[in-house]
Amino acid sequence: MSENSTINNNDFIREIIKEDLAAQTYKTVITRFPPEPNGYLHIGHAKSICINFGLAAEFGGRCHLRFDDTNPEKEEQEFIDSIKDNIRWLGFDWKEHEYFASSYFEQLFEFAVKLVKKGCAYVDDQSAEEIRKSRGTLTEPGKASPYRSRSIEENLNLFIRMRAGDFKDGEKTLRAKIDMTSPNLNMRDPVMYRIMHRTHHQTKDQWCIYPMYDFTHGQSDALENISHSICTLEFEDHRPLYDWFIKELGIHHPRQIEFARLNLTFTVMSKRKLLKLVQEKHVNGWNDPRLPTISGLRRRGYTPCSIRDFCIRIGIAKANSTVDVALLEHCLREDLNKNAQRMMAVINPVKLVVDNYPVDRHEEFQAENNPENPAAGSRPVIFSRTLYIERDDFMEHPAKGFFRLFPGGEVRLKYAWYIKCTGIIKDPSSGEITEIHCTYDPATRGGWSTDGRKVKGTLHWLSAAHAQSAEFRMYDRLFTAINPEAGDKEFTEYLNPRSLEIKKGFIEPVLASAAPLQRFQFLRTGYFCTDTDSSRANPVFNRITGLKDTWAKIMAKNE
């Protein structure tokens, strides 16, 4: 992470916490990250993770990991595993504080019983449809359920029978008795328990009634002694309800603070939409490198450090906002520029023959591993008569401002020699250039001339006889629209047909044995990492992101 990144430790949440600590409202800062295990985590969750774990670390407190697993219908063990894996990969540790709302089911049931006994809750026989109809609308108050005035004894008996399995799914619910005329719809007798004869991934078949999130979250926070319960804006309306439950139950009151969730340009962030992309196979699984999931970013080659840095830089506020994905890419490049080893790879190769270089000769040059870090040392690269260079580095008819190779032009081959283009050979049928011919200047060993002659262009290259072939997966943004959810069409209509292009090229031979997910900067082309599909025989590299490309910008502007 960079030293100069703007860390604003004065966001409104920190301000509130400092006040609370000063006023002794809470002694220790205890936060929690409470995912539902019904999907994979994405970068929006990373923001929340960084806030919660970051706050705990900063104030010397702790952060719990709690799975809010109250809906067995949508949850799976696979998601629990991936969530834990993702948080660890991001660099956070919840230590022994791993909890499940489902392990509070008995306690929650007792809380519910207590509310029934206080006359604060009742069993409703209305169907979901009837409940919906009687809830009223935004402008009209709701109507009381005909079962609202049942006796405490009857409610208690019914609720116990609900638990015992005496009723079918949907036959009854337990509702909080609050206020059917409240302007806050969450207070119009919200459902606390529903009947669901379903096996739960944690509690198995122990329960056939499950508490609703609204009856679970606040009390779970209370049970864990959470001091600051940080959540997203849409729960602001639920806070009065959580406060009501906590007050009636007489338990610990955490302070809930809401912040705006993260949106990113050129992608989608909702679980529902990500699920759709996965299920309809627009991408290859939850860890597809084009997805904003943590698993996807990881496989793409993003570093945990760059994601944490990004989460700090975007700040925390309550205004809905969409952060430019360029900022994420910036954080990534900043980290990788400093830390990624440089390598040479030719992604779109064309043959280059050095006519005055002996056929049977080859020699080694030392290439620096990272100009930003001399301690990274150097490695040998082999030069020979026949090389591969990037097709884009040659223009038969050079555009204005093009200072790479062209007929009669001279460039430097990085670390090696100055070469001058003497001619080209084309495929007579297609017109495609098949070979570029050149001569090298023996007085420019290592790429230095002694006569003060300067060349502007420096190209990367690979010895054809020594290079190892490889596959490059050139990833680009998944969507072509800055906001895929904004148009009239379904968001999938804005998928970028060129979000993945496979290229076959060459790499330095040692790269074939690079470990999975190892990151490199391929000189002049971008940052890449070995994909998990990579093997020694068939090395595969993912393009994490390109280098900034001033030339491409100039070309684009001239069009």
Active site residues: 36, 261, 271
- The answer to whether residue 553 forms part of the interface with RNA (CB under 7 A) is yes
Contact between 137 and RNA by CB under 7 A: the answer reads yes
**222 near RNA, rule: CB under 7 A:** no
| Least distance in angstroms from the C-beta of 538 to RNA | 25
Distance linking the first and last C-alpha atoms of the chain: 38
d(CA 447, CA 414): 6
103 binds RNA (CB under 7 A): no
Q: How deeply is 10 buried, as exposed, middle or buried, from its count of CB atoms within 10 A (0-12, 13-18, 19+)?
A: exposed
- Complete DSSP assignment for 64-101: EEEE----TTT--HHHHHHHHHHHHHHT---TT-EEEG
Torsion of CA 289, 293, 294, 298, to 10 degrees: 0
Q: Which of 114, 330, 379, 477 binds RNA (CB under 7 A)?
A: 330
* Residue number, 70 or 295, with CB nearest to RNA: 70
Q: Tokens 């030392």 appear where?
A: 366
Asked if 214 is part of the footprint of RNA (rule: CB under 7 A), the reply reads yes
Residue from 48, 227, 293, 521 touching RNA (CB under 7 A): that is 521
CA angle 77–83–87, rounded 5-degree value: 150
Instruction: Tell me how far apart the alpha carbons of residues 228 and 27 are, in angstroms, rounded to a whole number.
Output: 11
Contact 120, 176 (CB under 8 A): yes
Instruction: Copy the structure tokens of residue 546.
Output: 């390109």
The residue type at 255: R
Residue from 1, 11, 84, 285 in contact with RNA (CB under 7 A): 11
**547 in contact with RNA (CB under 7 A):** yes
Distance of alpha carbon 520 from alpha carbon 505, whole angstroms? 16
Give the nearest distance from C-beta 532 to RNA in angstroms. 25
Q: Based on the shown chain and the rule CB under 7 A, indicate whether residue 333 belongs to the binding site for RNA.
A: yes
Kindly provide the residue ranges of all beta strands, DSSP E only, lying in 275-325, ordered along the sequence.
321-323
How many residues touch RNA (CB under 7 A)? 96
Residue of the chain from 44, 54, 61, 190 that contacts RNA (CB under 7 A): 190
Q: Least distance from C-beta 243 to RNA, angstroms?
A: 13
415 touches RNA (CB under 7 A): yes
Q: Which two tokens stand for residue 258?
A: 């809401």
Which region among 179-187, 283-291, 465-473, 494-502 touches RNA (by CB under 7 A)?
A: 179-187
Site string for RNA, 461-500 (x = CB under 7 A): ----------------------------------------
Per-residue contact flags (x/-) with RNA for residues 267 to 306, judged by CB under 7 A: ----------------------------------------
Report the residue number, 42 or 172, with the smaller CB distance to RNA: 172
Q: Which of 207, 388, 402, 494 is in the footprint of RNA by CB under 7 A?
A: 402
Q: Does 443 bind RNA (CB under 7 A)?
A: no
Q: Nearest CA to 387 among 345, 350, 429?
A: 350
User: CA 291 to CA 268: how far, in whole Å?
Assistant: 9
Build a one-symbol-per-residue string for 193-212: x at contacts with RNA by CB under 7 A, - elsewhere.
-xx--------------x-x
